[in-house]
Structure 1
Amino acid sequence: METNKSKIDQLLQKYKEGNCSLEEIEWLQHALSTADIHGQDAIDQAIVANLLQPSSVEKMSESRQKIMLENIKEQIQRRAEDSDKISDMGAESIVPMQKKTIFSIRWLYWTAAACLLLFVFSTVFWRQQTSPVQMDGNLAGIQDTMKDIVQPGGNRATLRLADGTLLELDKQASGIVMGESITYENGKSIASATLGKERMTVDPSKVMLELTTPLGGMYQITLPDGTKVWLNAASSLKYPMSFAKNERKVILLGEAFFEVTKDSSRPFKVQSKGQEIEVLGTAFNVNAYPENTTIKTTLITGKVKLSKENHATLPIYLKPGQQSTNTNSGNIQVANVDTAPFTAWKDGLFYFDETPLSEALQQIGRWYNVEVRYKAEVPQTHFYGRIKRSKPLREVLEVLEEGGLHFELNKKQEKNILLVTPLQ
């Protein structure tokens, strides 16, 4: 506890000065919520005394204040739920009564502290909103150049039918379902895309359709076999109206997350940029954007077999928690990874874990439909942390600028250009 207490003291001082990173704030919150009960009393008073200073809040950027507010609210809700669970435990519970009592005291204590924090944050927000706004110097160009802040992407996609008809899908829906006809997830039919058996003059396994998402778009599809696919921004998936009797094959360009329905008699195959993935039933992510020099396949559950098309090399097998990196030269490397950063996009998050600047901004550029340009050599900066993809671009950049960057947004022929310059 002494080591943690020392680190907590240091982070509290940084927090008071407005210099705490999001990762440090998350560590602090975790340390406070999981500390050993016997060592908690020694730091409680100092913690609350430090945190309940409005001056500390005022020095934080508005986006970081919002993130802190969200975290505090979530913590209050989580503690309330935990308290309810313990209160509901019967006489046969293995939790000692003494621990129940201590937990209740701690819950009340921290709920009171969190509520006070909410009051402090709310007061600061009110004061900021009723006083002249002072724009952050690094990001002033974004507000000056464009009337509206660039908003995040959403549910956007088009569906190309076998006859070439291009349908723009409903933005209020999150996905489509394939069957004898094509419907949205809520059951609403896509009228002009109804393809019943009576209209099929050829083998439906030969009738190819293509779902495409633009920059700033994502969409979900349930394939004829029940397999679910989430398509990330600037991606496309080609698939048949109905799968063949001996195999299920799709073609991917871009990034997608697959939850494959198990069918031992029909392997599921994903072809992308010369690579083929074969599975029976599993969950995995494939990143195969055309501008990237590698294909990254990340396995969550199950087992997959990787091979290069038209190559006689032995296939590679992945286990859960492994990721393959396939280069244009045909070399495949396998590593154990934390899968969360590579699948978080499906759940509405940017998840950076020692992510290089160029890769982080590439993700941001696709989602906000901005073209990223560098005024100087790309800095060898790495980012950590999680940011909701639902936030406006400006709030995301406020977090990234802590890595020593200057951002400027210009508009040229309806295209948003994000200029990146490292601070000297």
Structure 2
Amino acid sequence: MKEEDFELAELISGYLRCTLTPEEEERLKSLLAADEKRYKLLEAYRAAGPTAARLANMDSVDVDQAWRKVNSRFQATQVVQRKNRYAWLKYAAILIAVIGVSIFYFNLNKPDPGIIPDITKTYKNDVLPGTQTAKLILSDGTQIALDKEKQVIGDEKGTTIVSNQGEISYGQSATNALAAAKYNTLIVPKAGTYKVTLPDGSKVMLNAMSELEFPVSFTSNERIVSLKGEAYFEVAKDAARPFKVKLNESEVEVLGTHFNISAYNQTAKTTLLEGSVRVSNAKSSNMLIPGKQALSDQQNIAVTKGDVDKAVAWCKGDFYFSNDAIEPVLTEISRWYDLKLVYKRKIPEIHITGHVSRKAKLSEVLDMLKDVSNLSFGIEGRNLIINQPNINQTEKI
């Protein structure tokens, strides 16, 4: 490792702790001026709250006092050894800082495979749609990335778990009481969907930014799962064991049916396609029949006619908007393309109607939005700029 790297790490440490002398600040500026990426790296570190907190905690430690306590147990002849250890710790800390800088530096410049050139030259870049991706957390806390075509996962007390092409399946082990006490969590990130076949044969498809917690085996007189986000359920019929979905502030109970739940916030939207469900909260409950929709929170349950096609459009690979407010539309799009929404100014109240494939590139979705909203957009990395004034239609990548 070059001497300059050690020097840079030591100067960055001092900069973050605001302990540099004017001469040291000038030296740091000269090193940063030699490489623009170093400056971006430094700013990223400076803006990180956890980094600042750790440095503050390090500064609060009285190193000399700690060493005095340790050395009081040894003879005076070991003073030299203490100094050597102190010096070793100092350079070890610098080495760790350099390694951390190097790792962060590498990640900062690692290309994002989801960001591609915009062939129309309208935007700085384009963004690919989401894929089938998820993470499974086992009962012991083990986290498994579900990104292989097929993988057999270590069983949970006798239950076989197989992941293959965007779907994970649990073998039935209805008599396994040990497995029933174990819970797994399937987490789907932004720009992802995933399917799971539960131990009772029920099928669930999770949308982006969703989580489903469920037992490895259903052995009691109820089948209970917990949902955050959005999911489409096809529940296996079992009259003796009702199927319940726990939400933020309410609950959905079924015997065997097809329905969609969107619960990204405190209000859950349940749309019934087939069968019947009961939507409950702490105060009341309502039965739904096919074609009906319930909006439920801790206080209220409102039942109206539902738009079934709209509710399950995401499962079929489409965005489907019907007189929808523009901001929730943009939020839905941001979940699927893993975007940060940047509003350049307050946008007017707009409702839009339209549909487009979720398999389309972001630029193609924005073409539809432009037509129905009269807004302008920009794309910079994974930032979606809304109402960007004076957008340069001929801007190069």
**Residue in 1 that maps onto 2:144:** 167
* 1:87 paired residue number: none
Contact 1:405 1:423 in 2 (8 A): no
| Corresponding residue for residue 7 of structure 1 | none
CA pair 393-322 structure 1, distance change in 2 beyond 3 A = same
2:134 is the alignment partner of 1:157: yes
1:394 equivalent to 2:369? Answer no
Does residue 274 of the first structure (1) align with residue 253 of the second (2)? no
Q: Which amino acid aligns with 2:136?
A: L
Distance 1:175 1:419, change over 3 A: farther
Q: Which of 215, 221, 244 is 1:240 aligned to?
A: 215
Aligned counterpart in structure 2 of residue 323 of structure 1, from 288, 293, 316: 293
CA 1:354–1:205 in 2, change beyond 3 Å: closer, same or farther?
same
TM-score (norm. length: structure 2): 0.62
Give the TM-score normalised by the residue count of structure 1. Answer: 0.58
Give the 3-state SS of the residue equivalent to 1:405 in structure 2: coil
Alpha-carbon offset, residue 373 of structure 1: 2.5
1:315 Cα deviation from its structure 2 partner? 1.1
| 1:304 and 2:277 matched | yes
1:186 to 1:409, Cα distance in 2 relative to 1, 3 A: closer
Residue 182 of structure 1 aligns with which residue? 161
The aligned counterpart of 1:256 is: 231
- Conserved? CA contact 2:188–2:206, under 8 Å: yes
Instruction: Tell me which residue corresponds to 2:267.
Output: 294
Specify the alignment match of 1:343 in structure 2: 312
Higher percent of residues as helix: 1
Residue 189 of structure 1 and its aligned partner are, at CA, apart by: 9.6
Shift in Å at residue 264 of structure 1?
A: 0.2
- What percentage of residue pairs aligned between the two structures are identical? 39
For 2:385, the equivalent position in structure 1 comes to: 419
Shift of 1:174: 12
Per-residue CA deviations over 1:202-235 (Å, capped at 9, x if unaligned) read 6211100000100000000000011000000010
CA contact under 8 A between 2:191 and 2:208: conserved in structure 1? yes
- Report what 2:190 is aligned to: 215
Question: What is the number of residues matched between the two proteins?
Answer: 269
1:330 shift after superposition: 1.6
Name 2:203's counterpart in structure 1. 228
TM-fit CA distance, 1:196 = 8.7
After TM superposition, the structure 1 = structure 2 runs for residues 5-44 of structure 1, keeping only pairs within 5 Å, are none
Counterpart code for 2:233: F
When the two chains are superposed, the root-mean-square deviation of aligned CA atoms in Å is 3.2
Check conservation: 1:357, 1:379, Cα contact below 8 A.
no
Mapped to 2, the partners of 1:218 and 1:397 lie a distance apart of 21
Alpha-carbon spacing, 1:317–1:348, altered in 2? closer, same or farther (3 Å): same
- Deviating runs (4+, > 3 A) in structure 1? 171-179, 185-190, 193-197
1:181 partner SS = strand
The answer for unaligned runs of 5 or more in structure 1 is 1-132
Change (3 A) 1:218 1:160: same
